[in-house]
Chains A and B, each alone.
Chain A
Amino acid sequence: MTRRDIECVDLAKTYESPSGQVDAVAPLTTTFTEGQTTAVVGPSGCGKSTILRMIAGLEAPSSGTLAIGAETPLALARRGALSMAFQDASLLPWRSVEGNVALGLKLARKPAAPEHVRKLIHMVGLAGFERSRPAELSGGMRQRAAIARCLVSEPELLLLDEPFAAVDALTRKRLNQELPRLWRDLGTTTLLVTHSVQEAVMLSDRILVLSARPACVVADLVTGSDAVSAQVEQALQEAA
């Protein structure tokens, strides 16, 4: 199997808006190793979502190159090998939880698998809400449904943009234990944006700390040692 590392070389993004140019991401050069989970932390508005959106192929980089193995993000997405959880859950209001999760399979061009869908709904703690509409769910429940939608297609690349922001501490903890197991089994490459240092340390193999806008890397840390938390906190202080 070829390695599917994500290679970013001088990746940068400048938004053109009526009120002027906004430099969101300064030239970023880094590699996200296949099968690894990387947490991206940084101050609000620094460009984290933008980085994820570029890797998902939703936003064209203003300059620099981006390759996932030998593929472009679009090619990966077309194979149904990429899924992304958005900062807002983006559930379709007319579909039930079950329907929204099943949509993940449908959009990835994979055969329907009701059992698998149900299993994931259980895993994210939404058992009993299969037939509920998003409007009947709390913010955190919606985010969990969105996570299930992401996972259902068993993607090679998983992009999670603050997926637990509105999830309560207890569920969050349980998810934090189960998710890594799941994506380790699948060999998924995961990028996780989060505001919680604790979560970053718990879930990921590596933590990327970004500066205020335009985002550039201020610290690139490997988790494992006890000192990491403190190091991340300190880097964040410097970034802000």
Chain B
Amino acid sequence: MSAVMDRGAAVAAAFERYRNEPGALLCILHAIQDSLGYIPAEVVPDIAAELNLSRAEVHGVISFYHDFRTQPGGRHTVQICRAEACQAVGARELEAHAKTALGVDYHATCSDGSITLVPVYCLGNCACGPSVRIDNEVYGRVSSARFDSLMAELKAGAE
């Protein structure tokens, strides 16, 4: 299947699912990002037309929220908690280590396309930090060594 068809199908599925839901722009954006990995600029006019909004309004919403990205990310998203409870147990050091180990700054993707590194403010695991989220799994008490082994698993498991 071509990427264009994928995109069209993802957008159509999102519209179909939320057609009768009031105020569903965030739901639609989440659905599109879940299936495509990001929100391509090309879908903005379609969303605007579907919801009877201006393109600027749709773009304004996409850019307001930290979750939405407009460029493809890596195969995995790795979030490091930067918030206070994790700081109290070494999150700052973990952040620095992660950036060095992966060779990227926040919001960037490793050159092999495996991992996009993203900051996050609290994962609700504040009694057992430092906390890291990999896709939909949260990990607790993540030391630098543990981080390295988690990343090695991700890279080894790459498609």
Q: Are both chains from one complex?
A: no
B residues apposed to A, CB below 8 Å: none
A residues apposed to B, CB below 8 Å: none
